Amino acid sequence: MSDFSIIGKPTAMVDAAGKTTGAGKYTDDLSLPGMLVGKILHSPYPHARIQRIDTSRAEQLDGVVAVVIGKDAPTPYGILPVGHDEHALVTDKVRYVGDNVACVAAVDEATADKALELIDVEYEVLPAYFDPEDSMKAQSDFIHDNKPQNIEKDYHHVFGDTEKALAEAACVAEARFIANEVTHAAMEPHSTLAAFEIDSHTGKPGRLTVWSSTQVPYYLQHKLSLVLEMPMAQIRVIKPLVGGGFGGKSEVIPLEIIAAVAARKAQAPVKITYTREEVFWAHRGRPRTIIDLKTGADKDGHITAVKARVVQDGGGYCSYGVVTILYSGALLGALYDIPNIQYDGYRVLTNKPVCGAMRGHGTVNVRFAFESQLDELALKLKIDPAEIRRRNLLKPPCVTINGLRVQSYGLPECIDKVVERSGWRERKGKLPKGCGLGIACSHYVSGAANSIIRSDMPHSTVNIKIDRDGGVVVYTGASDIGQGSDTMVAQIASEVLGCSLGRVKVIAADTDLTPIDIGSYSSRVTFMNGNATLRAAQEVKKLLIAAAAKKMNCAAEDLVFRDDRVGKKHVAAGDSPAQDGRGRPSPHELSTDGQASVSGRVEGQILRGSLQQKRKDEGPKDAMTFEEAVVAAIDFHGALTGTGSYAPPQEARGGKHKGAGVGPSPAYSYSAQVAEVSVDEDTGEVTVHKVWAAHDCGRALNPVSVEGQIIGSVWMGMGQALTEEMVWKDGMLMNPGLLEYRSPSSVESPEVEPIIVESVDPEGPFGAKECSEGSLAATIPAISNAIYDAVGVRLHESPFTPERVLAALRAKKAEKKIDLTEGVDPTAPTRFREHGGSLWFRGKGPARHPLDPARREAPAGGDD
């Protein structure tokens, strides 16, 4: 028998039926009487000053109720306090193709679409910057006036003496890696519905309710308050079902503010749902990244130093950029024992859609470079790639040189498990030609130890109330975005209270009803909201215990709550509550008063009557049903409520250096993976056959969900490794749709064998850590390393598309040179490659496009 009755059991999500029947409501499924459709006018230029906007023609169109522009809500906002550089609608300049210029609220979509065509905007086109390394050289026309050289933020960290260690290293590897840009592509396009109510006392528009596809309802409430200049208490944000986030809904997305601004002006509810193209423009995905990486090791393969220079192409606004560039450096630590780390990170602004947080935030691209280079070192030193990773393990509990506290550390077991399951020892290097195995590791935070808005406020608070009918209601601000946090919360509450899952109802992510939780990002929810739930449940349980102890005439510590029953330790020690023998309830007794334990099947009122009747008749009891304990507790204490909250401990909040706030976490998850691939040497096509992925999640609260998260992470990593790439040409996204942005289909998706490793973290709820992000990063280098094993080419540029792989193979064989990759060698890339063709016609001919350099005295920033 396991120690738990709910925790650790595969559990269907509490909202599964709504999803499989179509009854569950996502934001775009909602409608209100008199609701208008909002459509946004986007910028056709990557960088331009707005000279004039005339909305009068649009306003006159029949069916148009309101047109809003920048001056209707001019207060800037941004997800980071240091990055308040966005407006609901631009006030001065547009900074990327797709930037938000105006919004029409109309009676239907077709009318709104028509009205957009009637808005006259005069632009002064400015030189634009598309490549971050070019952008950093800018002397004028900065994207934001207060960011010289278009550098959003740069950090320069030195821990230890990297130069000395590299000089003394037995073996050094150095290379440039390039990771191209990817995006979340959650299946649900963003949607927001905003409606004002008329205040009964003033008779004027008062409270605002916003339903939105968000991972962060409380930040949304906060930013709405800022931009609309309304008190937060007047704003209610409700998160309906969310069709996937992956970070793409983890900050305030333009439509969320625009819908509210439009609803205010239109004096009617407004719903905006993005087209898929708009989702790509809203983006906030993983920036394309240049990583110049140098790693040194001693002759036994112990890493002595790492030096990394990272340049991220952040797009037109800050978004999470400052955090992303810090994660890239900070999480060089906490996976392996590295005594010397030097990090130079540059977050650069360009005239492209904005990058933000995406699954594995900040860690993924650097991890691709690092784990690839580690294999190169292993090769040079003739050490097995699995072995070199074992030789560099941390020795926890410890604090890394860059100030990250590591307690639970399941990485050694993860490596052992994937080595064993994949048959690494027997098969590595022995597979047929064209087939290979590769290993890599990764890790991630279980929530950031420091919140975005620095304060000592708890990161999560949870309330629980238990009614006389034995129903347990958990009020949590946690945002279920499909990862199953509502289910996690229900499981923890029911485990602690010893009641069945069916008793627990979760009310989540409604700022009017639920206490603050800062959101579903940085994989914080299980750890932080789980702990808050645990504490809330423990608090309310104290009341139940006191009452039950009195009723049962025993010490509080003798009581056991389990399976909807309260028993004494010696009594309730069995798997089944039904025990026979003296002094214990007989099966017959159980079946009568046990009715109460059959959740939801007994009408509350009748039940209460019968219980009260019983109570009068009985003396001290040896066991009680959960309801009896509840009724007793209410009789003693009055209302049954409990509150719990969680704030990361001071020791886990990191060092003192500039930027030390990002990277620290109360706990880290760990992953090791082996990928098996084959490479078609004539076409360069890579097939991933199987990935063995071991993930240390502390404890698997719900194994079916944990496995789903591991598989999903690995699979998304595989997408970034092989098929997904945002293709750019002078700031134009060439593939803003699911047809051309290729998220893998079922036929090329490999089998992923998830292996759960439980290190039981001392601070996690029941020992749990994160399981939804940490596995993504390892997949890309595991595949890269497997490609090397299969065909002996090492790609330094992702994704490993067939043309890149074939170019590398051809170069290796020194065959007749064909430029398969348009001048960028994927084994030694120097710069980002843009799509071929031309936005404008260079040279002779008419100037057809305002960005055409021929039309300008000074050439624009682009280079085709």
Partner 1 sequence: MKKELIELNVNGRTHELAIEPSKLLLDALRQDLQLTGSKRGCDDSSCGACTVLVDGIPMLSCTMLAASCEGQEITTVEGVSEHGSLAAIQKAYGDWGGAQCGYCTPGFMMTVKHLLAVNANPTEEEVRSALSSNLCRCTGYSQMYQAIKAAIEAEQKAVPST
Partner 2 sequence: MSLPQFRLLRPRSVEEAVGYLATHASNIRVLAGGTDLIPSMRQKLFEPEYVLDVRRIAELQGIRPQRGVGVEIGVLTTLNAIEHSDFLRKHYPVLTEAAATVASPVLRNMGTIGGNICLDTRCLWYNQSLTWRKACGFCIKKNGDLCHVAPGGTKCWAVFSGDTPPALLCLNAEVEIASPSGARRLPLREFYTGIGDDYRKLQPNELLTRVFLPESSADYRGVYRKLRVRGSIDYPLAGVAVVVKRSDGHVSDARLALTAVNPAPVLVKGASAMLSGKTMTEELADKVGDLAARTAKPLTTSALTPEYRREMIRVFTRRAILAIANN
Question: Contacts for 230-235 with beta carbons within 8 Å, 24 or more apart?
Answer: 232/511, 234/206, 234/207, 234/208, 235/207, 235/208, 235/209, 235/210, 235/511
Quick check: 84 binds partner 2 (CB under 8 A)? Answer: no
3-state SS string over 268-282? Answer: CCEEEECCHHHHHHH
Instruction: Kindly state the number of chain residues that form the binding site for partner 2, as judged by CB under 8 A.
Output: 50
CB 698 within 8 A of CB 767: yes
* Residue 261 tokens, joined: 């601004």
* Among 96, 177, 246, 368, contact with partner 1 (rule: CB under 8 A): 246
Quick check: 189 binds partner 1 (CB under 8 A)? Answer: yes
In angstroms, the CA 301 to CA 390 distance is 10
Q: Tokens 């020194």 belong to which residue?
A: 814
**Which of the 8 DSSP states describes residue 393?**
B
In the bound state with partner 2, the residue whose beta carbon lies nearer, of 189 and 767, is 189
Shortest gap between Cβ of 184 and partner 2 (angstroms)?
18
* Among 838, 854, 855, 856, contact with partner 2 (rule: CB under 8 A): 838
In the bound state with partner 1, the residue whose beta carbon lies nearer, of 27 and 340, is 27
In angstroms, the CA 349 to CA 326 distance is 16
Burial of 747 (0-12, 13-18, 19+ CB in 10 A): exposed
Chosen from partner 2, partner 1, none, partner binding at 42 (C-beta under 5 to 8 Å by type): partner 2
Instruction: Kindly state the number of chain residues that form the binding site for partner 1, as judged by CB under 8 A.
Output: 57
Picking from 482, 465, 464, the residue whose alpha carbon sits closest to that of residue 525 is: 482
Interacting positions 588-627 with partner 1 (CB under 8 A): none
Shortest gap between Cβ of 821 and partner 2 (angstroms)?
6
Chosen from partner 2, partner 1, none, partner binding at 723 (C-beta under 5 to 8 Å by type): partner 2
Sole window of 167-175, 377-385, 772-780, 844-852 interacting with partner 2 (rule: CB under 8 A): 844-852
In the bound state with partner 1, the residue whose beta carbon lies nearer, of 105 and 242, is 242
CB 400 within 8 A of CB 322: no
Cis-peptide, bond into residue 799, ω within 30° of zero: yes
Interacting positions 735-764 with partner 1 (CB under 8 A): 737-739, 743, 745-747, 749, 751-752
Query: DSSP assignment of 162-174, as one string?
Result: HHHHHHH-SEEEE
Beta-ladder partners of 303: 297
Sole window of 162-170, 451-459, 515-523, 708-716 interacting with partner 1 (rule: CB under 8 A): 708-716
Shortest gap between Cβ of 119 and partner 2 (angstroms)?
12
Quick check: 802 binds partner 2 (CB under 8 A)? Answer: yes
Picking from 357, 247, 263, 279, the residue whose alpha carbon sits closest to that of residue 312 is: 357
* Among 18, 160, 205, 412, contact with partner 1 (rule: CB under 8 A): 18
Cis-peptide, bond into residue 397, ω within 30° of zero: yes
Site string for partner 2, 644-663 (x = CB under 8 A): --------------------
Chosen from partner 1, partner 2, none, partner binding at 189 (C-beta under 5 to 8 Å by type): partner 1
In the bound state with partner 2, the residue whose beta carbon lies nearer, of 814 and 818, is 818
In the bound state with partner 1, the residue whose beta carbon lies nearer, of 38 and 826, is 38
Quick check: 433 binds partner 1 (CB under 8 A)? Answer: no
In angstroms, the CA 857 to CA 850 distance is 12
In the bound state with partner 2, the residue whose beta carbon lies nearer, of 154 and 803, is 803
Q: Are strands 341-348 and 303-313 parallel, antiparallel or unpaired?
A: parallel
Quick check: 139 binds partner 2 (CB under 8 A)? Answer: no
Interacting positions 37-66 with partner 2 (CB under 8 A): 42-45
Chosen from partner 1, partner 2, none, partner binding at 21 (C-beta under 5 to 8 Å by type): partner 1
Interacting positions 332-361 with partner 1 (CB under 8 A): none
Q: Are strands 751-757 and 686-696 parallel, antiparallel or unpaired?
A: parallel
Quick check: 456 binds partner 2 (CB under 8 A)? Answer: no
* Residue 361 tokens, joined: 């935030």
* Among 734, 760, 828, 854, contact with partner 2 (rule: CB under 8 A): 734
Sole window of 178-186, 224-232, 368-376, 763-771 interacting with partner 1 (rule: CB under 8 A): 178-186
* Among 739, 814, 857, 858, contact with partner 2 (rule: CB under 8 A): 739
Task: Report the run of H or E that residue 346 belongs to, with start and end.
Answer: strand 341-348
Picking from 670, 611, 730, 580, the residue whose alpha carbon sits closest to that of residue 129 is: 730
Quick check: 789 binds partner 1 (CB under 8 A)? Answer: no
Q: Are strands 270-273 and 235-238 parallel, antiparallel or unpaired?
A: unpaired
Burial of 505 (0-12, 13-18, 19+ CB in 10 A): middle
Q: How far apart are the first and last CA of the chain?
A: 67
Interacting positions 44-63 with partner 1 (CB under 8 A): none
In the bound state with partner 1, the residue whose beta carbon lies nearer, of 209 and 213, is 213
Shortest gap between Cβ of 696 and partner 1 (angstroms)?
20
User: Residues 6 or more apart from 590 whose CB is under 8 A from it?
Assistant: 577, 578
* Among 296, 362, 585, 708, contact with partner 1 (rule: CB under 8 A): 708
* Among 16, 82, 233, 639, contact with partner 1 (rule: CB under 8 A): 16
Chosen from partner 2, partner 1, none, partner binding at 148 (C-beta under 5 to 8 Å by type): none
* Among 39, 184, 271, 361, contact with partner 1 (rule: CB under 8 A): 184
CB 624 within 8 A of CB 548: yes
Shortest gap between Cβ of 213 and partner 1 (angstroms)?
10
* Among 188, 337, 510, 773, contact with partner 1 (rule: CB under 8 A): 188
Quick check: 819 binds partner 2 (CB under 8 A)? Answer: yes
Q: Are strands 171-179 and 797-798 parallel, antiparallel or unpaired?
A: parallel
Shortest gap between Cβ of 147 and partner 1 (angstroms)?
33
Beta-ladder partners of 568: 559
Spatial strand order of the sheet with 668-679 comes to 435-445, 668-679, 686-696, 751-757
Interacting positions 447-506 with partner 1 (CB under 8 A): 481-484
Chosen from partner 1, partner 2, none, partner binding at 708 (C-beta under 5 to 8 Å by type): partner 1
Task: Report the run of H or E that residue 480 belongs to, with start and end.
Answer: none
Quick check: 820 binds partner 2 (CB under 8 A)? Answer: yes
Interacting positions 676-695 with partner 2 (CB under 8 A): 682-684
Interacting positions 106-125 with partner 2 (CB under 8 A): 108-110, 113
Question: Contacts for 607-616 with beta carbons within 8 Å, 24 or more apart?
Answer: 607/469, 607/470, 608/468, 608/469
Quick check: 29 binds partner 1 (CB under 8 A)? Answer: yes
In angstroms, the CA 102 to CA 79 distance is 21
How crowded is residue 117: how many other Cβ atoms within 10 Å of its Cβ?
12
Shortest gap between Cβ of 714 and partner 2 (angstroms)?
18
**Which of the 8 DSSP states describes residue 864?**
-
Picking from 54, 59, 64, the residue whose alpha carbon sits closest to that of residue 109 is: 64
In the bound state with partner 1, the residue whose beta carbon lies nearer, of 307 and 359, is 359
**∠ Cα 48 51 54 (to 5°):** 120
Sole window of 564-572, 609-617, 753-761, 796-804 interacting with partner 2 (rule: CB under 8 A): 796-804
Shortest gap between Cβ of 732 and partner 2 (angstroms)?
6
Query: For the chain, what is the radius of gyration of the CA atoms?
Result: 29
Where along the sequence are the contacts to partner 1 (CB under 8 A)? Answer: 10, 12-13, 15-26, 28-29, 31, 184-189, 241-246, 273, 275-277, 481-484, 704-705, 707-708, 711-712, 714-716, 737-739, 743, 745-747, 749, 751-752
Where along the sequence are the contacts to partner 2 (CB under 8 A)? Answer: 42-45, 97, 108-110, 113, 275, 277, 682-684, 723, 727, 732, 734-736, 739-740, 742, 744-748, 801-803, 806, 818-822, 835-845, 848-849
